[in-house]
Amino acid sequence: MISFKHVNKHFGDFQVLTDINLEIKEGEVVVVVGPSGSGKSTLLRCINRLETITDGELMVNKKLLNSKDTNINDLRKEIGMVFQHFNLYPHMTVLENITLAPRKALGISTAEANETAMFYLNKVGIPDKADSYPSQLSGGQQQRVAIARGLALKPHIMLFDEPTSALDPEMIGEVLDVMKTLAKDGMTMVVVTHEMGFAHEVANRVVFMDHGRILEESEPAAFFSNPKEDRARLFLSRVL
């Protein structure tokens, strides 16, 4: 579903990603961990081409990302992204926030978009909030709306960039639970998170990054019990 081959990415003179090689199959959940500034967000953002790679090959759902023939708007419809900050429109209801992109980008009728939105609001456990405004919701509920909004485009891939980092501790669990359900349903997911419990329980693989490189790629049990790299060991000793 996603394939990085010898991918490099520069911001001017600064090399942010170095020789990234990573294969993610359909239905896999890959958790990316590593210190702040190691390139995790940039790696995710390359997948939906919020950032362009400098060289190497990046394929997403059989399409080459750095090719003129690839329609980026079509590609983005296949990929949902959830950020640390939920970025809901404050002047729109939950339902309007979720249906905006399907109506505008996919040209789906309001009735059908509403039906789809309600399906995903049920899935994230807050169908009763459809007519509320974001300010009337808790942080955890707002993030669940953001996930429903991503799902409403019926993507093949969901990217999560520290989705629980801005939440109060008591709300982290409800968002992780929604993500676990998605994983069980077979969604292909790439998740940047510091929630090591989630990584342990849900990930098929853990990818450890440092200074723009993938230093280790392991099954969670192996990664957490016996990391191969000293830097991964040091990182774990700080976050666990």
**Chain positions contacting ligand ADP, by CB under 6 A:** 11, 14, 16, 34, 36-42
Q: Which is nearer to ligand ADP, 137 or 158 (CB)?
A: 158
> Residue 136: CB partners within 8 Å, gap ≥ 6?
129
Q: Which is nearer to ligand ADP, 34 or 150 (CB)?
A: 34
> Residue 39: CB partners within 8 Å, gap ≥ 6?
9, 16, 17, 209, 211, 212, 213
Query: Could you tell me the sign of the dihedral formed by the alpha carbons of 88, 92, 98, 102, in that order?
Result: negative
Q: Closest distance between Mg ion and the C-beta of residue 100, in Å?
A: 25
Give yes or no for a contact between 75 and 153, defined as CB atoms under 8 angstroms apart: no
- Interface ranges with Mg ion (CB under 5 A): 41
Q: Closest distance between Mg ion and the C-beta of residue 44, in Å?
A: 8
Q: Which is nearer to ligand ADP, 47 or 108 (CB)?
A: 47
Q: Closest distance between ligand ADP and the C-beta of residue 3, in Å?
A: 20
Stated as kind and residue range, the H or E segment containing 113 is helix 110-123
225 contact choice in Mg ion, ligand ADP, none (CB below 5 to 8 Å, kind-dependent): none
Report the number of secondary-structure helices (H) and strands (E) in the chain: 9, 10
Q: Which is nearer to ligand ADP, 178 or 214 (CB)?
A: 214
Segment 195-204 long-range contacts (CB within 8 Å, at least 24 positions apart) = 195/164, 196/33, 196/224, 196/236, 196/239, 196/240, 198/31, 199/31, 199/33, 199/223, 199/224, 200/224, 202/29, 202/31, 203/29, 203/30, 203/31, 204/28, 204/29, 204/30
Q: Which is nearer to ligand ADP, 120 or 223 (CB)?
A: 223
Q: Which is nearer to ligand ADP, 48 or 99 (CB)?
A: 48
Q: Closest distance between ligand ADP and the C-beta of residue 165, in Å?
A: 11
Q: Closest distance between Mg ion and the C-beta of residue 160, in Å?
A: 11
Q: Closest distance between Mg ion and the C-beta of residue 201, in Å?
A: 22
11 contact choice in Mg ion, ligand ADP, none (CB below 5 to 8 Å, kind-dependent): ligand ADP
186 contact choice in ligand ADP, Mg ion, none (CB below 5 to 8 Å, kind-dependent): none
